Amino acid sequence: MIYLTQNFNDIHTFECGQCFRWNPCGDGGYIGVAGGRVCRVFDGKVYCPDSDNGFWESYFALDEDYDSIKSELEKRDPELKKCIEYGGGIRILHQDLWETIISFIISANNNIPRIKKIIETLCRTFGDRIESEEPAGEFYSFPTADKISALDISDLGCLRAGYRDKYIADAAAKVSSGEVSLGAIPEMSTPDAKRELMKIKGVGGKVADCILLFSCGRYETFPKDVWIKRVVTELYGISEAQIDGFINDKYGNLAGFAQQYLYFWARDNKIGTK
């Protein structure tokens, strides 16, 4: 068992848009599937086989000092304090790179319930059954690039993912062939890693930033869509052209944490929606 006693809230972490295979269960906790493993999180505890402790400790990034991160962010940007207090239980997860690529390809111009349904169908149809006694249930692993690349694109029609089918197929083909090297990406500089990911159809700048932030711990990235740009310009009184320089100067290598606190607060408080 692992204890998430500080700087963790399950709703903040699992409902902030960074992950899609965590679902609430009847006791008020969450059940999640990652890396071919299943665990239940309840009341700040991770219930899993002892042999999986190391995996989940890495997944929840338990080596990150969130007290120091929050303190430094508030020092750099006092305006962010209310966002940090609102979403202070967010932890940026260390997710599997391949799964994160496909998840965020699916996420583009989509809503979270539909994203989760597509991913669950993908796993149930093409993944492997995971044996789990606690929590009990029917769980499936995320299918590998090799497995998906061996399919005909018509096989992906069951996902009801629309035009994203061809992006999923393209990602699988390029990763399976080695044209896009998953093993090399974590060792690359962030600009080079971003360029490598953008070889995949459907991976633009924002999706690449999400992938790097949520799987590779590239905390200097600040994923930006039209809405988050609007939030930043409205909150800080800057133009869209000034956003990148503003973020780099103010947050530096902590930009990803700032983005998550800002995103969660602005979304729930409907900032930037007018």
Tell me phi and psi for residue 78, to 5 degrees. Answer: -60, -25
Q: What dihedral do alpha carbons 221, 59, 42, 21 form, nearest 10°? A: 70
Q: What is 242-270 written as a DSSP string?
A: GHHHHHHHHHGGGHHHHHHHHHHHHHHTT
Q: Given 174, 206, 229, 270, which residue is catalytic?
A: 206
One-letter amino acid identity for 257? F
Q: Which two tokens stand for residue 51?
A: 């042999």
Q: Which two tokens stand for residue 140?
A: 């499936």
Residue from 112, 136, 99, 124 nearest 14 by CA? 112
User: Is 206 labeled as catalytic in the residue annotation?
Assistant: yes
Length of the chain, in residues = 274
Q: How far is it, in rounded angstroms, from Cα 13 to Cα 11? A: 6
Q: What is 157-219 written as a DSSP string?
A: GGG--TTHHHHHHHHHHHHHHTSS-TTTGGGS-HHHHHHHHTTSTT--HHHHHHHHHHHH--T
Exposed, middle or buried: residue 178 (CB in 10 Å: 0-12, 13-18, 19+)? exposed
Q: Which two tokens stand for residue 154?
A: 């018509």
Q: How far is it, in rounded angstroms, from Cα 209 to Cα 201? A: 15
**Catalytically active residues, by annotation:** 206
